[in-house]
Amino acid sequence: MDKRILIPTDFSKNALHAVRYGLDLYEKLNCEFYFLNVFQGNRYSTNGLNIPEPGSPAYETKKKKSEENFVKLLDMLELHHDNPKHSYYTISTFNFLSEAIKQTIAEKDIELVIMGTRGATANREIIFGGNTVNAMEKIRECPVLAIPPDTRFSTPKEIVFPTNYKTAFKRKELSYLIEIAMMHKSAIKVLNITKKADLTAIQQNNKRLLGAILETVEHSFHTLSHKDISDGITAFVESRDSDMIAFINSKHFFFGSVFSKPLVKEIGYDATVPILALH
């Protein structure tokens, strides 16, 4: 069965980079790509009173514009990304983005969401756009891959996987990370940022389990003594010129640490590596 990938787009330059990155990353696999455009004006209230109905001039105008932009996108992909392994589908809908994404995941059996971290509004204060952070936090049905602005695809030779070894790993959770690593012969660098030199017995056991899960791909374990987790990840990635960061999105540990505002400002705005949130 073909892999089904959802890529939301607002037709901005940054969104286009996310599309291109996704197509190149999965160049060797049979894939169905679903491009989703949510047309919604901020001036519409959320109480349902002022939201245009299908058939109304406001609704039809926005839908037509969305469909016209999709024609341009597909023409461009046909010209530059003519891959017989890939098929493209477009969805134009009036909705809130997070709701539209969840609905599409359910209806199309989506396995991965790929998003640009900034859209048409490249506001420094809305780093990782609120939409992308929201998607990474709320969408738990499948992994989310966030592509920073202007990121051009290069084969991911090294993927950094930060963890504190405090929770047991499941093979299913890491299947997408392993798949990407196998496709591109990537090395996975497991990174533990800690102030303590020694691991507890539970942490040691979880580390051994992780090693067993990653046995089919090249991997190695690294420890970094750093006061701040986000700074430590940034320093490690920059020092090694790594190509991607992958992490398991745990409500109790990593999401709050990685996507806190300081990190958003530190690596979010200047990030040059995609971030894969696994669930």
Structure confidence by residue, pLDDT tens digits, 112-158:
999 887 655 544 444 345 666 666 667 788 998 988 887 889 999 99
What's the CA angle centered on 178, arms 174 and 179, to 5 degrees?
A: 115
- Domains of the chain in start order, with CATH, are 3-147 (3.40.50.620), 158-270 (3.40.50.620)
Structure confidence by residue, pLDDT tens digits, 57-82:
888 888 999 999 999 999 999 888 88
- For 194, the token pair is 């800690």
Sort 170 into a burial class: Cβ within 10 Å, 0-12 / 13-18 / 19+: exposed
What dihedral do alpha carbons 137, 142, 148, 152 form, nearest 10°? 180
Q: Which residues are bridge partners to 86 per DSSP?
A: 31
What 8-state DSSP symbol labels residue 124?
Answer: T
Dist CA 214 CA 218 (whole Å): 8
Structure confidence by residue, pLDDT tens digits, 199-252:
999 999 999 999 999 999 999 999 998 767 777 888 899 899 999 999 887 654
Handedness of CA 103, 124, 276, 255 (dihedral sign): negative
